[in-house]
Chain A
């Protein structure tokens, strides 16, 4: 970023700047995926299908990262059981709102009751975890929450849980087969009404998108993005409320917070439940309607670590950073590599390059300075390599920039904006003296 753009950005108000950064990132991602799609020769429907996937992933990751940021970034609670809470949300939604005649049967409650119920159930599981777990040190809490998420996944997967009867009501998780008995997506229902028809006509007329499932997916992704916006607003309000300020105090020094008369344990319990409820909502949006595949093994701890990495890229403690990190992780690190192989094949780079089926076949020719089999092998195994890149990035960030892109901003603890003071009147550093204040840290 050039100095000129930087200084002009710095002159803007923070909310405007944040909105510009997020919009800029999304436009950048769309541009990249548009280039990918058009190079691959996709028509408008194909490109919008890529856009729909991208938007959905950025949205659901942003939601999960925001929830985690509330727990880790604000309150300093090291929860690495996110996958378990996503699973609780998705499965409890299914059991509450699934059709009673389906298999495995659900309770058949209305959709809204299902969503709210799923959030409440996840919050309750969060409560069960929080009360005892908060007595633990940060690294013990990490191990306990990781174990909890594995308990949830393995229990959902187990045969006794796949279908059981409690008090005459039969419920179940479907075990390893996964759960399919969900109510229809309300967004798809929209397309049976005149509004849906209008959207379809508009999509065809303006963008030339003719395939209805693509339009449906894209509209669903936009709904998710709107929900992310609502959650973002809610969390920003929370962060700047007295409640949020206590959380930050707990993160910085719990002893001080409690000696100022704050019941830090209750604050932690509440924030843990709040974050877990959002993770439950994310489970519904992501697994149930986003991917349409709720199988226990998608909730492996790996998914938790992806969400954590996204948070660390963005910078823990910053809601805008959370959204940026989610976008960069989901777009650049997660989705883009899946298309690179196809893309290079299309532009002729891969023509004549065969992919050897073993590492030896790739390395052997290196001795005679023939690198093409190695390149072919690398591209053929890009799925594994992207996680190596993720690991390298994680270590780099921890060593060089632990605050991520936007973390550790100076938190406004006063009702007035301290930055508006005269320049010669140097304000006391609000971050405990780690910096000299000013725009560098924002």
Chain B
């Protein structure tokens, strides 16, 4: 009985979803190879730990930014190509605030506001500047998103997804090049040095810890918001069925506004934090991250907030651990492989890991 059951289930898998099977087999083989490499000592555990740690940090950024992308996708029904620029806006505005607080009196005011003079802000030497910078990033990005919604997306409510997508490409161009116009196009270092700890041969600095702590707190906040508040319930209802939500008296416009605020705020925070750990900023960093964020969100199941978080972490970790196999000159292919993974996910399981469940 059990044997024939398993047989028929296996048969169904092979016949119906050969691609899923191939992907699973490849995944299992890679995992086995990883274990073998670890046991035989080909791969030192600290190197793997380094990949995991880098991957986790990136993954949290993808997850944090992905929440907004996922929410706009499920509630406003379009893929927002300007979401990467929200990270850029958050990065620049947040660091302008952090510089202003941390470098007041040290450097020219205008240079601080334009993120030009580096006053050496860090979480250990000037914690207040870093925290206020984070707040500034969130506030400015939320304001920008609200203005954009009013000017661009609100007149287009009810337009089809592709029109909105194209309009969001326009928004992306405007934001990216306005940032370039105001802050100029050069890459520059922004943070000062900070304390580094040695955890079992793995160097972990205070900025990385800040990133992880802030991301986890924000994600927990989103969880509470979605599960415990009326707004969260309204959001989930709207993601499920907009017409039904409207009929039952949910103020859809207000929910949309909150969606933008929540998504943009988290994106702004993510942009600020990624600059904190990288230590440098450039006008198109958010745009470059966008495809990775898309990949993470699609992996988790677009439309699902928890999917975005889980997808972000899995994608960040997996794309970094791929460096176990992609060594030397082949490490150039880590990003292409990550994008290939995105396409494979789209083909094999477009509904993502958490698919079918929206915003819950």
Contact = CB atoms under 8 A, between A and B. Distances in A.
A160 B329 contact: yes
Contacts of B336: 150-151, 154-155, 158
A143 interface: yes
Contact of A364 (B110, B116, B155, B182): B110
A142 interface: yes
Interface in B151-204: 152, 155-156, 159, 161-167, 169-178, 180-185
Interface stretch (A29-37, A132-140, A183-191): A132-140
B291 A391 contact: no
Contacts of A359: 114, 181-184
A388 interface: yes
A305 interface: yes
Interface string B130-164: 00000000000000000000001001100101111
Instruction: Name which of A142, A144, A147, A160 has the most chain B CB atoms within 10 A of its CB.
Output: A147
Interface stretch (A113-121, A271-279, A395-403, A422-430): A395-403
Given A305-B173, A388-B181, A135 B347 contact: yes
Contacts of A67: none
Nearest to A398: B167
Contacts of B295: 147
Interface of B: 78-79, 110-111, 113-114, 116, 152, 155-156, 159, 161-167, 169-178, 180-185, 291, 294-295, 298, 329-330, 332-333, 335-336, 339-340, 342-343, 346-347, 350
A147 B340 CA distance: 7
Interface in A355-408: 358-361, 364, 381, 384-385, 387-388, 390-395, 398-399, 402
A159 interface: yes
Interface range on chain A (Cβ under 8 Å from partner): 35 or more
A399 B333 contact: no
B166 A381 contact: no
Contact of B171 (A136, A155, A391, A402): A391
Contact of B339 (A151, A384, A392): A151
Instruction: Name which of A137, A144, A148, A392 has the most chain B CB atoms within 10 A of its CB.
Output: A144
Given A360-B114, A388-B178, A398 B166 contact: yes
Contacts of B164: 398
A154 to B, nearest CB: 5
Contact of B181 (A360, A361, A381): A381
A136 B298 CA distance: 13
A155 B340 CA distance: 11
A265 B84 CA distance: 33
Contacts of A388: 173-174, 177-178, 181
Nearest to A396: B170
A252 to B, nearest CB: 13
B330 A391 contact: no
A144 B347 CA distance: 9
